[in-house]
Amino acid sequence: MRTQVVIIGAGPAGLLLSHLLAADGVESVVLETRSREYVLARIRAGILEHSSVELLTDVGLGERLARESMPHRGIYLHTPEQRTHLDFVDLVGHGIHVYGQTDLTRDLVDARVRGGQQLVYEVTGTALHDIDTARPYVTFVDADGAARRIDADVVVGCDGSFGPSRQAVPDPRTWERTYPYAWLGVLADVAPSTDELIYAWHPDGFAMHSMRSAAVSRLYLQVPPGTDIAEWSDDRIWTALAARLGHGRDGWTLTPGPITEKSVLPMRGFVAAPMRHGRLFLAGDAAHIVPPTGAKGLNLAIADVARLAPALGALLRGDGALAAAYSDTALARVWRCQHFSWWMTTMLHVTDDPFDAQLQLAQLRWVASSEAGARGLAENYTGLPLR
């Protein structure tokens, strides 16, 4: 079998890339180890930057997004001293959208299926070959157990942090930070107790109130890494959330409800460079991981492929300049987001060092009271322009 671009991984990065390439007349095949059902059920992040929404809308993926996403003007920063609303629209001229990655993935899969895209699920043994040449190929075993080979002009690794693509880059440079805390995340069948997201600093640890819809809340608690979920009963979770999010302060209440999912997420920063080797390009989690506090993971994956798609289109038409620049330009945004995610994370998560706590509170007071401080957060949170 032969195609122009083999895309490894059907997460948001791989699916959106195949969509953007198709719009440019470039043919691709997407390979995915999991089943379609598994990919569509996976619970992930929920914030889309302003520029991500603009891009998705521009390329015909905005219909359900416009109908079902929740536009938010900003966020609340909460400490035991005060709750401050940061109005991003006032500060930088635009807000963000709350829209689950699950919903976006469904939109992308629907659009790809409508467009006749080849999405090959449940593959095993994905291996990359001859990426140093102009004729790379990928081998795998399909769901029926047949050995297959696809020849291509370009291979793109969108296979997340555990996929094989990154390993195919010889001698990559990597940077890693393991944060000394984790998140316990829950989904609950209860209307959100807040109109916009609450990011809370508390001596017991960070907490966040997010949402998926008018009837479903998403909440997080800072917990020690390696926490056993069995130690956290639903009651214990709601009690900790109430304390950290300020239940009872100034008449605000947190309404608990049935928890339908809980999991512990590690907090890690990671970057691998370069994001290109020969005819192999990396995008999304395959090249970088950010801790979730800045809500950047999904948006960074979108930003990568927004840059990569025109670069590949040009490369296949004989102009390699954008493709040559891809790794450096993508990494500049990756590091901006890595820094913002680190800044939000270290400002909001408690350590056992009381000096850290005072620095965090001083920083939070500055962001809450200074327009310059608030605007810096707003500019990064809503996302820098894609182009």
List interacting residues with ligand PHB (CB under 6 A): 45-47, 197, 210, 218, 292-293, 295
Nearer of residues 28 and 217 to ligand PHB, judged by Cβ: 217
Q: Which residue among the candidates 137, 199, 220, 326 is catalytic per the annotation?
A: 199
46, interface contact from ligand APR, ligand PHB, none, CB < 5-8 Å by kind: ligand PHB
262 is catalytic: no
220 is catalytic: no
Three-class secondary structure of residue 305 per DSSP: helix
Q: What is the DSSP letter of 256?
A: P
Radius of gyration over alpha carbons of the chain, in Å? 21
Full strand arrangement of the beta sheet holding 147-151 = 124-129, 137-141, 147-151
Binders of ligand APR among residues 249 to 288 (CB under 6 A) are: 284-285
User: Is 21 one of the binding residues for ligand APR (CB under 6 A)?
Assistant: no
218, interface contact from ligand APR, ligand PHB, none, CB < 5-8 Å by kind: ligand PHB
Cβ at position 128, least distance to ligand APR in Å: 10
Q: How far is CA 122 from CA 115, 140, 167, in A?
A: 21, 10, 21
12, interface contact from ligand APR, ligand PHB, none, CB < 5-8 Å by kind: ligand APR
Which phi-psi region, left, alpha or beta, contains residue 307 (left: φ > 0; alpha: ψ -120 to 50)?
Answer: alpha
**CA 218, CA 220: separation in Å to the nearest integer?**
7
Three-class secondary structure of residue 128 per DSSP: strand
Binders of ligand APR among residues 163 to 192 (CB under 6 A) are: 163-164
- Of the candidate residues 32, 103, 107, 196, the single one contacting ligand APR (CB under 6 A): 32
Nearer of residues 14 and 297 to ligand PHB, judged by Cβ: 297
> Binding segment for ligand APR among 147-155, 156-164, 268-276, 322-330 (CB under 6 A)?
156-164
- Cβ atoms of residues 85 and 76 within 8 Å: yes
- Cβ atoms of residues 334 and 297 within 8 Å: no
Nearer of residues 91 and 302 to ligand APR, judged by Cβ: 302
Cβ at position 154, least distance to ligand APR in Å: 16
Token digits of residue 360: 């965090």
296 is catalytic: yes
Q: Which residues pair with 288 in a beta bridge?
A: 271
Nearer of residues 259 and 267 to ligand APR, judged by Cβ: 267
Q: Which residue among the candidates 99, 179, 292, 349 is catalytic per the annotation?
A: 292
User: Is 344 one of the binding residues for ligand APR (CB under 6 A)?
Assistant: no
381 is catalytic: yes
* Per-position b or e across 245-271, b if 16+ CB within 10 A of its CB: bbbeeeeeebebeebeeeebeebbbbb
- Cβ atoms of residues 257 and 189 within 8 Å: yes
Token digits of residue 74: 């900003």
Q: What is the DSSP letter of 73?
A: S
Q: Which residue among the candidates 97, 209, 288, 296 is catalytic per the annotation?
A: 296
Cβ at position 43, least distance to ligand APR in Å: 10
Nearer of residues 70 and 357 to ligand APR, judged by Cβ: 70
**CA 298, CA 384: separation in Å to the nearest integer?**
14
The number of residues in the chain equals 387
Residues near ligand APR (CB under 6 A) are 8-14, 31-34, 39, 44-45, 101, 123, 126, 158-160, 163-164, 284-285, 297-298, 301
Q: Could you list the active site residues?
A: 72, 199, 292, 296, 381
